[in-house]
């Protein structure tokens, strides 16, 4: 499935961001505008900080879409058989195009993953500030302190998903190790070629376990980031229903 289509299915609508008076407005199923109004009305003493957190989440969604589009566009060259063959032969100016696509895909993939995970961390801080959880510090503690069943289930499904676990391990490992191999990889079994994230191990400080992750196509890791980003919208809608009764 094309990533742009996958994104539409996950989010339910395109993420179109504009700035109005410094506030991010999103065309998404999650009505953050109403949540912002709720924060101002029901939590006037903390409204300034709450609005900053809500706006930060909204703006992160805009940045995510920007980096996702650039990463997706870089992959188009990888799918072109003539581009792949010419790279293998290292023909003239085409090599420079390949190198540029490699940098573009890697930089924007890392940005997408970081933005998706950071948005979830900000969402956890928002729940703390709204006093909806007795937990604080990290998402797992926030989750354990949530009394609302729907919101707890939405967040639990997100941070216990294989995609979230992989992305978290990936982003913490890539700070210190090169994981993305953009050299030409081809699989005749899968009928695919392009860059791959190599297999790696990650020490999980929360569980005390050394986790092993297999190699993935770069494009598939981007799909994981899109899926986790879509899960944030589901959590946000659950938050609205708790606060606003939507």
pLDDT in tens, 15-53: 444 334 444 444 457 899 999 999 999 999 999 999 999
Point out the least confidently predicted range of 10-14, 53-57, 87-91, 184-188.
10-14
Distance CA 173, CA 167 (A): 10
Percentage, residues of the chain above pLDDT 90: 57
Nearest residue to 246 via CA among 3, 85, 29 = 29
Query: Does residue 7 have a pLDDT over 50?
Result: no
Indicate the range of 40-49, 67-76, 85-94 predicted with least confidence: 85-94
pLDDT tens per residue across span 78-87: 555 555 556 5
Residue-wise DSSP of 182-198: EEEEEETTTTEEEEEEP
- Dump pLDDT digits (tens) for 162-217: 999 999 999 999 999 989 886 655 554 455 556 789 999 999 888 889 999 999 98
Q: For residues 53 and 88, which has the higher predicted lDDT (pLDDT)? A: 53
> Lowest-pLDDT range, 8-17, 192-201, 237-246?
8-17
For the chain, how far is it from start to end, CA to CA, in angstroms?
32
pTM value is 0.81
Q: Which residues pair with 192 in a beta bridge?
A: 187
Task: Quote the CA–CA distance of 90 and 84 in Å, as a whole number.
Answer: 10
Cβ within 8 Å of residue 167, ≥6 positions away = 113, 116, 117, 221, 224, 225, 228
Cα separation values, 107 from 43, 180, 228, Å: 39, 10, 19
DSSP run (H or E) holding 206: none
Q: Helices (DSSP H) in 80-208: which residue ranges?
A: 81-89, 94-129, 139-144, 149-159, 162-173
Q: What is the mean pLDDT of the chain?
A: 81
Q: Is 16 helix (H, G, I), strand (E, B) or coil?
A: coil
Average pLDDT over residues 213-234: 92
Q: What Cα–Cα distance (Å) separates residue 92 from each residue in 5, 96, 98, 108, 130? A: 34, 8, 11, 26, 58
Higher-confidence residue of 49 and 97: namely 49
Give how far the C-alpha of residue 217 lies from the chain's centroid of Cα atoms, to the nearest Å.
16
């Amino acid at each position: 499935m094309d990533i742009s289509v996958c994104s539409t299915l996950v989010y339910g609508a395109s993420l179109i961001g504009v700035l109005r008076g410094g506030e991010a407005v999103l065309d998404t199923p999650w009505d953050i505008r109403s949540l912002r109004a709720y924060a101002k009305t029901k939590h006037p003493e903390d409204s300034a900080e709450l609005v900053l957190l809500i706006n930060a989440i909204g703006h992160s969604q805009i940045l995510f879409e920007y980096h996702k589009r650039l990463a997706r566009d870089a992959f188009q060259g990888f799918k072109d058989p003539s581009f792949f063959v010419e790279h293998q032969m290292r023909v003239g100016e085409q090599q420079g195009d390949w190198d540029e696509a490699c940098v573009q895909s890697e930089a924007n993939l890392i940005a997408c993953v970081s933005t998706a995970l950071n948005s979830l961390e900000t969402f956890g801080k928002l729940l703390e500030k709204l006093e909806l959880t007795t937990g604080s510090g990290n998402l797992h503690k926030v989750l354990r302190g949530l009394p609302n069943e729907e919101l707890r289930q939405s967040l639990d499904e997100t941070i216990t998903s294989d995609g979230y676990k992989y992305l978290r391990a990936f982003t913490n490992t890539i700070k210190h190790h090169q994981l993305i191999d953009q050299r030409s990889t081809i699989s005749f079994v899968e009928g695919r070629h392009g860059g791959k994230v190599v297999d790696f191990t990650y020490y999980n400080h929360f569980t005390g376990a050394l986790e092993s992750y297999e190699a993935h196509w770069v494009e598939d890791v981007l799909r994981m980031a899109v899926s986790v980003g879509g899960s944030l919208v589901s959590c946000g809608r659950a938050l609205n229903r708790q606060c606003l009764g939507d």
